[in-house]
């Protein structure tokens, strides 16, 4: 049974894992009552999770037929990266002078990411990773930027990319270490450098996502996620 920690998010990541690793194939029906019974929860968080997956274009709902897994177009998924890169570059530029070199919260989150990587816990890592970026976006002090960034559903999209990384030779600790230049740039208080590091960071993830889709899953390198 799933723990009650943002239950709909846990259901969403569980369904995403199954879509990405092929447990659910394009066209497969996703029945709320069956999923709820299997996961030991009510139908409400399942319904919310499916709504999020529809917004992310992983699931489609047809009248009188219910929810089904969509055929995923990697190019469509990848469209998020240039948008996110622009938003996070601006966030880094605005956050640097506001933080005044105080990166204690980011250091603490970085340590949590290290713990999750050592435990090989993808779900925890992606949630903590998203929190790292959220702290910076909120430090920018621009409510429109924050709302727009949040609408991208960063937690789930980071999860998608990280699962793709399990198909590559890049370990989870390497993913964590990619955040270190951001911390150092913000520590320096240099707005332009901080923005550039944020953009470069998102660009690296975009490239890794692209490579993961080129390589594709293999029999000896299945996609998996810790529960």
- Angle ∠(86,181,131) on CA atoms, nearest 5: 65
- Return the pLDDT at 200: 96
Residue environment code for 127-139, b if the CB has 16+ CB neighbours within 10 A, otherwise e: bbbbbbbbbbbbb
- Return the pLDDT at 144: 96
Q: What is the pLDDT of residues 162-215, one digit of tens each?
A: 665 554 556 789 889 999 999 999 999 999 999 999 999 999 888 877 776 665
- Return the pLDDT at 195: 98
Per DSSP, the three-state class of 58 is coil
Cβ atoms of 83 and 152 closer than 8 Å: yes
- Return the pLDDT at 182: 98
- Return the pLDDT at 213: 63
| E strands present in the chain | 29-30, 59-62, 66-69
- Return the pLDDT at 177: 95
* 172-177: Cβ within 8 A, 24+ apart: 172/116, 172/117, 172/120, 172/122, 172/125, 173/114, 173/117, 173/118, 175/117, 175/125, 175/129, 176/110, 176/113, 176/114, 176/117, 176/125
Structural domains in the chain?
7-69 (1.10.10.10), 74-215 (1.20.120.530)
Euclidean distance between CA atoms 210 and 188, whole angstroms: 32
- Return the pLDDT at 214: 60
- Return the pLDDT at 224: 34
Euclidean distance between CA atoms 209 and 213, whole angstroms: 6
Going from the first residue of the chain to its last (227 residues), give the mean pLDDT of each consecutive group of 10, the final group possibly shorter: 62 85 88 93 92 86 88 76 94 97 97 94 84 96 94 71 57 90 98 98 82 50 34
């Amino acid at each position: 049974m799933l723990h009650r920690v943002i239950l709909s998010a846990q259901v969403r990541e569980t369904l995403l894992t199954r879509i990405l690793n092929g447990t659910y194939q394009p066209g497969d029906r996703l029945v709320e009552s069956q999923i709820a019974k299997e996961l030991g929860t009510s139908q409400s968080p399942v319904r919310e999770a499916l709504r999020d997956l529809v917004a992310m274009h992983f699931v489609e709902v047809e009248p009188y037929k219910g929810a089904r897994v969509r055929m995923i177009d990697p190019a469509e998924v990848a469209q998020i990266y240039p948008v996110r890169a622009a938003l996070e570059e601006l966030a880094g530029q605005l956050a640097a002078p506001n933080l005044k070199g105080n990166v204690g919260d980011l250091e603490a989150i970085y340590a949590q990411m290290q713990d999750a990587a050592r435990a090989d816990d993808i779900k925890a890592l992606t949630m903590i990773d998203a929190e790292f970026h959220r702290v910076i976006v909120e430090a920018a002090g621009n409510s429109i930027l924050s709302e727009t960034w949040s609408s991208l559903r960063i937690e789930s999209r980071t999860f998608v990319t990280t699962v793709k990384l399990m198909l590559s030779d890049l370990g989870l600790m390497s993913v964590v270490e990619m955040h270190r230049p951001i911390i150092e740039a913000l520590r320096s208080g240099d707005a332009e450098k901080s923005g550039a590091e944020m953009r470069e960071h998102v660009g690296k993830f975009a490239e890794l996502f692209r490579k993961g889709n080129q390589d594709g899953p293999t029999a000896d390198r299945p996609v998996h996620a810790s529960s």
